[in-house]
């Protein structure tokens, strides 16, 4: 996976990729916060899915920026064995997220195949604010996929 996406695993590469990841949808600020939770020993990721624009990922540059940036985010969230065991807490603001306009199975599969299959990635908890029924269904599909990937 690292060869395919030209990931170098250096501090410079991580900084460059994370800048591109956080700035790829700058007018909407979809990645709001990333922090360590002292109480659980895991990390907390806060995103505004209303700022998520699938059209950005329809380009090779956009998909590369997203996957390589998320690679480093996931790597940071799995910094040690405690954080791997505890899993990540995810908080999503779902107001304004249009699941019909922003769902692409091919892109979702590419992301899952490249990232979630290569890491011992667990979600400790997830809170979705102002989530529609469609986004709840999508969340359940991702949970089911995650369970299947983590069995391997």
Domains of the chain: 11-151 (3.40.525.10)
Q: Mean pLDDT throughout 74-96?
A: 85
76 or 139, which is more confident? 76
Give the pLDDT of residue 79.
85
Task: Please say if the pLDDT value at position 47 is more than 60.
Answer: yes
pTM confidence score: 0.76
**pLDDT classification of 149: cutoffs 50, 70, 90:** very low
Q: Mean pLDDT throughout 96-125?
A: 77
* Tens digit of each residue's pLDDT (9 = 90 or more) over 5-29: 999 999 999 999 998 888 887 666 6
What is the DSSP track for the chain?
Answer: -TTTTT---SHHHHHHHHHHHHHSSTTT--EEEEEEETTTTEEEEEEEGGG--HHHHTSHHHHHHHHHHHHHHHHHHTSSHHHHHH-EEEEEE-TT--TTTT--HHHHHHHIIIIITTS---EEEEEEET--HHHHHHHHHHHHHHHHHHH-
* Tens digit of each residue's pLDDT (9 = 90 or more) over 116-143: 777 667 888 887 777 665 566 666 666 6
């Amino acid at each position: 996976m690292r060869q395919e996406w030209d990931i170098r695993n250096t501090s410079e590469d991580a900084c460059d990729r994370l800048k591109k990841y956080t700035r790829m949808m700058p007018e909407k600020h979809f990645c709001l916060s990333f922090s360590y939770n002292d109480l659980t020993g895991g990390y907390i990721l806060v995103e505004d899915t209303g700022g998520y624009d699938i059209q950005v990922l329809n380009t090779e540059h956009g998909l590369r920026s997203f996957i390589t940036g998320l690679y480093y985010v996931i790597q940071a969230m799995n910094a040690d064995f405690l954080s791997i065991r505890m899993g990540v807490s995810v908080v999503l603001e779902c107001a304004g997220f249009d699941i019909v306009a922003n769902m692409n199975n091919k892109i979702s599969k590419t992301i899952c195949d490249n990232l979630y299959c290569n890491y011992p990635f667990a979600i400790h908890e997830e809170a979705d604010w102002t989530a529609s029924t469609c986004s709840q269904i999508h969340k359940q599909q991702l949970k089911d996929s995650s369970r299947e990937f983590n069995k391997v």
